[in-house]
A = this chain, B = another copy of it.
């Protein structure tokens, strides 16, 4: 099934429409993160729809532990019904969370890990990950992969050359495992449908390319993963500690080699500047906790750079957060910086909610603007101008 319809390519930047069984998603798209069945900060899904979110991300690891994918499936049918979100949902594989747990044991087949909640021991592998995602009723599932770290500890004082070599082999093993698990994920995914489901009702499965910042390993992973017929391809293992320059280098090399007719998803990225740079290189999809987390910590995005709402300079500032913003907080309610500064300073829940809505709207607005600029072939000029302003 051809799930991505490209409408325009401007330079390497792409504007398209991604079809899932839940509807159409205009790309490039940013997917807000509904970790545990809710957007953090007290923002409702109705508010998410109003600010333009087309698809949200659910976390397999968190939902598996609480309330449990089987509980959701048995009582509600799917995560959509459980949390009252009728548009598309993409679920991650749980791998990223599991690999960042300290108390774990990785085998060739999967990972033993202790729950961060009660320490209970669990095992996650490709089949289990896909089954959880199927139980959740995700519209886009991700294969189970191993996300290696970008740096490794050096307790024995290895030379930088030897350390690099050690990291290389660590990442190589992750790439090999990722390919193996991708195949297993796909097998389990295909088996679960048989012939009874029409392509229109079928969810999609995306492959994940690993390889850290090693060109050789990225190419190996890309070759092996794209050889399998996935519905889309993600770049994993980025935004895990490497510099933006290193990340852009990976994108420069990978994007031209990725199948043109399939959606490209850069996992866990990033800042507004990151999104613009990645779109300019041909990425279609993003997810990141940054806009919501920054909101909760008082860092606010505007079209002329970030502001820190806790700053005393906003104490008597009657202006809205951003005149150019069309969000509920700025354009409808017209709440002052002074009021938001006050709410944030005293620790009112309402501050978190308003600031999260503003930041998530900003990200949606950024994506909509990029899409419009690609469609009218003005993307490159716009990019240079706007990045200067954003980095103030």
Q: Which residues of A contact B (CB under 8 A)?
A: 36-44, 46, 62, 66-67, 71, 74-76, 82-84, 315-316, 318, 333, 335-336, 338-339, 341-343, 345-346, 348-353
Asked if B346 and A36 sit within 8 Å, CB to CB, the answer is: yes
CA distance A174 to B64 in the complex (A): 58
Nearest-Cβ distance from residue A321 to partner chain B, whole angstroms? 14
Give the chain B neighbours of A336 by CB distance below 8 A: 76, 82
Asked if A39 and B350 sit within 8 Å, CB to CB, the answer is: yes
Give the chain B neighbours of A84 by CB distance below 8 A: 333, 335, 339
Asked if B348 and A71 sit within 8 Å, CB to CB, the answer is: no
Give the chain B neighbours of A345 by CB distance below 8 A: 66-67
For this chain, the copies found in one complex come to: 2
Give the chain B neighbours of A41 by CB distance below 8 A: 349
25 A–B contacts, CB within 8 A, in A order: A36-B343, A36-B346, A37-B342, A38-B350, A40-B348, A42-B348, A42-B352, A42-B353, A44-B333, A44-B353, A46-B333, A62-B346, A66-B342, A66-B346, A67-B338, A67-B342, A76-B318, A76-B338, A82-B338, A82-B339, A83-B339, A84-B335, A349-B349, A349-B352, A353-B353
Which residue of B75, B338, B343, B348 contacts A338 across the interface (Cβ within 8 Å)?
A: B75
Instruction: Known A-B contacts: A42-B42, A67-B315. Give 20 more (CB < 8 A).
Output: A36-B348, A37-B342, A40-B348, A41-B349, A42-B352, A42-B353, A44-B333, A44-B350, A44-B353, A62-B346, A66-B345, A67-B338, A67-B341, A67-B345, A75-B318, A76-B338, A82-B336, A83-B339, A84-B335, A349-B352
Give the chain B neighbours of A316 by CB distance below 8 A: 71, 74-75
Nearest-Cβ distance from residue A245 to partner chain B, whole angstroms? 36
Asked if B83 and A349 sit within 8 Å, CB to CB, the answer is: no
Which B residue sits closest to A82, measured CB to CB? B339
Nearest-Cβ distance from residue A136 to partner chain B, whole angstroms? 13
Ranked nearest first, the 9 interchain pairs of A and B with the lowest CB-CB distance are A42-B349, A42-B42, A38-B350, A67-B342, A38-B348, A42-B353, A36-B346, A75-B316, A42-B350
